[in-house]
Amino acid sequence: MTDFVDVLEQQLRDAHGRRARPVPPWRAGIVLVAAAAAAAVIVALVVGLASPRTQQPPAQQQTTPPVTTPVKPVAPTHLAILNGTTITGLARAAADTLVANGYSEPNVVMNDTTNQHRKHSEVFYEAGYRNEAFSVADCLHIRFDRVHEMTPDARALADRANIAVFVGADQPR
Amino acid sequence: MEPDRDDDALLLAAADDPEAFACFYRRHVGGVVAYFRRRTGDAESAADLTAETFAAALAGRRRYAPERGPAVAWLYGIARRQLVTLQRRGHVERRARQKMGMARIELTDEMLERVEALADAASANVEVALAELPADQRTAVRARVLDDYGYDEIAAAHGVSEPTARQRVSRGLAALRARLRSQEP
């Protein structure tokens, strides 16, 4: 049976002795000019997109060990869990999962009165909480592409939370 | 497998030795596939991202410096960047594979099933092994390897010195390796 792992290993073995492909000479000039312009852009981006982790260091270690998957939140995180379905208890179950994984009890656990027909769960985060938002999504098995920056609508429902989880019908009951 | 060589030594040797890189790859391919499958929810994307990650690791292997951190943290740093690129651009990067002259692997259903199985097995093994670590080592390994925090940040958060934080990560990884090896058939 052809196995992805074996095929990739063979490719890597074959490529090991290979030199990385050089930039074609006709592109070298373009690259130099573009590099100068890109440098300014990169500096601006680096300054503008300061890493969330530099703003939010990991939290103090808790004395109570996690119950299940030992994912520990790495910043003081205020959570809001909103049930975006008509299925009773989904938000509570998600909150319990997070607490079992070392998070503090969410500040808000309530229904999302604006949308009760969510199929998929989503996570919204304030600036500086991106990594934590991914950890929350990880705990709840929410896909990474459903993790977004906080929107005004999400903010309005999330109260003062820096991470808001909108629970959809994909969450276990 | 080369049970006597740690990851850092393997990756250093991999600069000139294809066998060493292959061994490093074999040790970590399951974990990387599981990491991507968990983040993307999709075996095909996970396989594609895994191929690009190891191609990038191969292309950049001479830049690895053990004094900056464990080899596994370096590898997962590359993996995280692939995820960020996917999130920003909506497709898996192919630059490293093109650079190294590696074709995209066309995945059959059978291969995807194997990728799923590999991700499940690796995921379960790592979670079990992690859960068996002492809490201080477990949180330090997660913070350093999976969440990319610096030793200084881990030290500050846990109220310990930076050498202690390094020691926790190092001991945690060593214990994790030993546990994962004991699970190998």
Task: Measure the CA dihedral B92/B95/B96/B97, to 10°.
Answer: 80
pLDDT higher than 50, residue A118 = yes
pTM of the entire structure? 0.54
Structure confidence by residue, pLDDT tens digits, B43-95: 999 999 999 999 999 999 998 888 877 888 889 889 988 888 887 778 888 98
Sheet architecture: strand order including A108-111: A108-111, A79-83, A163-167, A122-125, A147-149
> Using CB atoms, which residue from A18, A20, A70 is nearest to B131?
A70
Q: Which residues of A107-129 are buried (b: 16+ CB within 10 A; e: fewer)?
A: ebbebbeeeeebeebbbbbbebb
- Largest pairwise CA distance in chain A: 64
| pLDDT at residue A21, rounded to an integer | 59
Interchain contact, B21 vs A58, CB within 8 Å: no
Say yes or no: ipTM exceeds 0.85.
no
- Helix (H) / strand (E) element for A46: namely helix A25-48
Q: What is the pLDDT of residue A44?
A: 47
DSSP-based three-state secondary structure for A122? strand
- Which chain A residue lies closest to B59 (C-alpha atoms)? A20
Q: pLDDT tens, A93-111? A: 898 888 776 677 888 788 8
B127 and A16 in contact by Cβ < 8 A?
no
A17 touches chain B (CB under 8 A): yes
- Per-residue model confidence as pLDDT tens digits over B149-166: 888 888 887 788 989 989
Where does the pLDDT of residue B183 fall: very low under 50, low under 70, confident under 90, or very high at 90 and above?
low
